Structure formats: structure tokens, C-alpha cells
Amino acid sequence: MSKVSAPDDLETAPQDATAAGLAQPLGAGVVTALVGFTSSFAVVLSGLTAVGATSAQAASGLLALCVTQGVGIVLLSYRYRMPITLAWSTPGAALLAGAGTIAGGWRAALGAFALTGVLIVITGLWQRLGNLVAAIPVEIAQAMLAGVLLPLCLAPVRAVATSPAVVVPVIVVWLVLQRFAKRWAVIAAFCVAAAGAGVSIVAEHRDLDLAAMAPTVELGLPQWNWQAMIGIAIPLYIVTMASQNIPGTAVMRSFGYRVPWRAAMTVTGLGTILGAPAGGHTINLAAISAALSAAPAAHPDPERRWMAACTAGVAYVLLALGSAALVTLVAAAPEGTLETVAGLALLATLAAALAGALRAEEHREAGVITFLVAASGVGFLGVGAAFWALIAGLIVRSALRTRTAATG
């Protein structure tokens, strides 16, 4: 009997090994997409709504982001056989949430999104622009981001007063998971928020618009005006490059991969341009979630981890189909629910931005001024606070350096 069964064992062993080898990167890819989506989609919806999007337009923007980054991931990871993952710009969405309504409304925001994509493409093709962005002091860029994030991170505190029955359990679950399973804290908080919203909808006998749950694309004609270009496009471009694309390449380098810079900027820039009319604000190289597909946990063999990224890309496209249903549920949730999830999701980013802004003592005053101007939310000439925060920080930094040089 042993002689008969031996050939069968020899034939099935490689198949089992192959199946196991595929399961690991496929599972890692699905986790990458789920973590990337659920941990920050609330920030995206808050940002798009703040600059004038209706619920349908915000759902379309979320769908566009999922599709463009999903397709971009598949193209880059398959072409270069690297676990190159993309993401929407979470700091960029936070910037939009703090910008508020802009001159020209939603169509002007679409024009700013498209211009951001153009700038990203040019960055990949023209090294001088990349060098110019890299020359912006890290402290100033991080302080601007921290100031934009502060009002959003205060939202959970305010929401406790308006919807305590839903918001308090969300915060408690997030805090417990921060202690025992930090990676899943925001996802668990979202699940609790969704459950609480569902109970609230049923208890108050509110009707959901089932027709609005079908995935749709709401196209708009971008409008160009200088206020949106300066107040939205430039800060959005800077924060995306400084907080996503440059750190994203560093994360990949830590795992032994050299991202093809020109190709990555071209794909993400064109993806942003194509997604802009549908409401997608910006896609870029993933930073934090990049490690989920590039780390050894995705596959022991570095040359096979690209399959995890490819899987993540496909998963993002599938998640796009549920964007409208998600927005419909969020719209019916109690006041402050979405803002609570978004604020909790951004706390780690706020902490990192504050640390970066205040790290160097010689630039601390400039960082604080930048932070305060951005956090104030006060704009001038129709241009949002983020741009003026950047200008104020650079002026203060230059003035203090000149004073130091003169006294030295």
C-alpha cells in the first residue's frame, strides 16, 4: 500500500505548498485594502462634504478614489513585480475638511483636484519641482498639517455632548483596542458606530433611501479660479507629497524595494486627474498601509509579495461598489458619528505631525505660528487658512534665521 500511496503524496505536496504560498499574499492583500479603507474613509467623506459635495457626490468621490487607486496598484505592482500600494491622501482629505466652502463651490474643488494631479505628474517628470517641494522645511509642512487636523480631532469630544449613546461606546472600543490590538482600533470603532447608527435608525423609525445605495458616478465639470488653485490645490499637493509620497518611498526602501519614482508619480497623478471630475481628491503612494503588503508577513519571499499588492488593488475596486450604501448609512446616522470616527482615525497622524513640527528647537517658533494659523481656520481673499499658515511659517522661519545670523 505504501508504494501505491507514495506517488500521490509526492503529487499533492507541491500543490499544497502552492496553495499555502498563494493564501498568504492574498490574505495580506485583502487586509491591506480593508485597513486602508475602513481606517480613513470617514475622513474622506468629511473632506468632500466640507468643500461642497452632496451625499451623492461624496459617494461618487469615494468610488472614484477606490477605483483609480485599485487600478493603479494593479498596474504598478504587476509591471514592476513589487508590492507597490496606493492610497487616497488622508492628510489631503483632512485639509479639505478644514478648508470649508470655497469660492466657486464644488466645481472649483474639482478643478483644484485636477490641478493637484497635474502637479504630481510634473513632479515625476521634472526633478526641479520635486526638489522645490523637498526644500520646504519638514517642520513647517508638519505644523500646517497638525493645525488642519486639530479641529477634526476635537470632533469626538464635541460629539459626546450631542450623541453620547452612540459616540461613547465608539470611543471606549477604540481605547480598548488601542491597548490590545492597535491596528484594528479604528476598524472596530467604525463597526460599533455602524451598529449604533443602525439601532438609532430603527429606534427612530427613519427610512433609508435604498435607491441611493446603488453605486453611481456623479460627474462634474471642473471650474478654475485662483482662490481654489492657491487655497486648495497647492496645500493639497504639498501635504500629499510631504506626508504620503515621500514617506511612502521611505517605507518601501526599508523593506528593500526601490519605488520607480517617475512611474509612480505618473500613475498617481493621472489617476488623480481622471478621478477629479467624479469627486476623487488625490491618490498617492501608501505610507502606513504600505507595510502590510511589503513586510515579510505578506510572504517570506520578497519577490512574491507583489501578489499581495495586486490583491489589495482588486479588493479596492470591489469595495468601491459599497461606497454609496456606506454614505447613505452615514447620512442617516446620529449627529457627530462620522466626525467621531474621522477624529479617532486622525489622532495618530496628529501626534506624528506635532512631533515633527516641534522636533527642532531652532524652528519651533515658526512651527507654532504655522500650527496656530492653520488651526484658526481663518482665510483671507477667499483663500483658506492652510495656505496662509504655510506662508506665515516660512516668513517667521526666515526672519528668525536672519536674526540668529546677525546676532551670531
- Chain CA centroid to CA 70, Å: 14
Looking up cell 488651526, which residue turns up?
A: 375
- pLDDT for position 75: 95
Higher pLDDT, 352 or 52: 52
pLDDT digits (tens, 9 = 90+) for 379-407: 665 566 666 777 788 888 888 776 555 55
Grid coordinates standing for 74? 494593479
* Residue-wise burial string across 66-101, b where 16 or more C-beta atoms lie within 10 A, e elsewhere: bbbbbbbbbbbbeebbbbbbbbbbbbbbbbbbbbee
Weakest-pLDDT range from 156-160, 288-292, 295-299: 288-292
How many domains would you assign to the chain?
1
| Residue 25 within any structural domain of the chain | no
Higher pLDDT, 408 or 151: 151
Grid coordinates standing for 314? 482588486
- How does DSSP classify residue 183? G
CA distance 334 to 136: 41
CA distance 27 to 17: 16
pLDDT digits (tens, 9 = 90+) for 226-235: 778 888 898 8
Per-position DSSP letters for 306-344, written without gaps between them: HHHHHHHHHHHHHHHTTHHHHHHHHHHSPTTHHHHHHHH
Among 354, 319, 31, 66, smallest CA distance to 183 is for 31
Work out the pLDDT band at 204, boundaries 50, 70, 90. Answer: low
Grid coordinates standing for 350? 496628529
CA distance 174 to 178: 6
Work out the pLDDT band at 5, boundaries 50, 70, 90. Answer: very low
- What residues have CB less than 8 Å from 178, skipping those under 6 apart? 185
Grid coordinates standing for 197? 447608527
- pLDDT for position 207: 64
CA distance 291 to 31: 11
- DSSP 3-state of 380: strand
Work out the pLDDT band at 290, boundaries 50, 70, 90. Answer: confident
Asked whether the predicted pLDDT for residue 263 surpasses 90, the reply is yes
Owning domain of residue 238: 33-407
3-state SS, 227-282, equals: HHHHHHHHHHHHHHHHHHHHHHHHHHHHCCCCCCHHHHHHHHHHHHHHHHHHCCCC
CA distance 180 to 277: 42
3-state SS, 115-172, equals: HHHHHHHHHHHCHHHHHHHHHCCHHHHHHHHHHHHHHHHCHHHHHHHHCHHHHHHHHH
| Residue 13 within any structural domain of the chain | no
Q: Are 32 and 289 within 8 A, CB to CB?
A: yes
Q: What is the dihedral of CA 212, 218, 223, 224, to 10 degrees?
A: 100
Tell whether pTM > 0.85.
Answer: no
- pLDDT for position 190: 77
Higher pLDDT, 211 or 341: 341
Weakest-pLDDT range from 118-127, 175-184, 379-388: 379-388
Work out the pLDDT band at 270, boundaries 50, 70, 90. Answer: very high
CA distance 370 to 142: 9
pLDDT digits (tens, 9 = 90+) for 91-105: 888 888 877 667 778
Weakest-pLDDT range from 18-32, 268-282, 286-300: 18-32
Q: Are 229 and 111 within 8 A, CB to CB?
A: yes
Higher pLDDT, 196 or 310: 310
- DSSP 3-state of 30: helix
- DSSP 3-state of 90: helix
Phi, psi of 316 (to 5 degrees): -60, -40
Higher pLDDT, 87 or 143: 87
| Residue 57 within any structural domain of the chain | yes
pLDDT digits (tens, 9 = 90+) for 33-67: 877 787 778 788 888 988 888 888 999 999 999 99
What does the mean pLDDT of the chain come to? 80
| Residue 43 within any structural domain of the chain | yes
| Residue 12 within any structural domain of the chain | no
- How does DSSP classify residue 300? S
Q: What average pLDDT does the segment 287-313 reach?
A: 83
Q: Determine the length of the chain.
A: 408
Q: What average pLDDT does the segment 281-287 reach?
A: 89
The percentage of the chain sitting over the pLDDT mark of 90, rounded to a whole number, equals 19
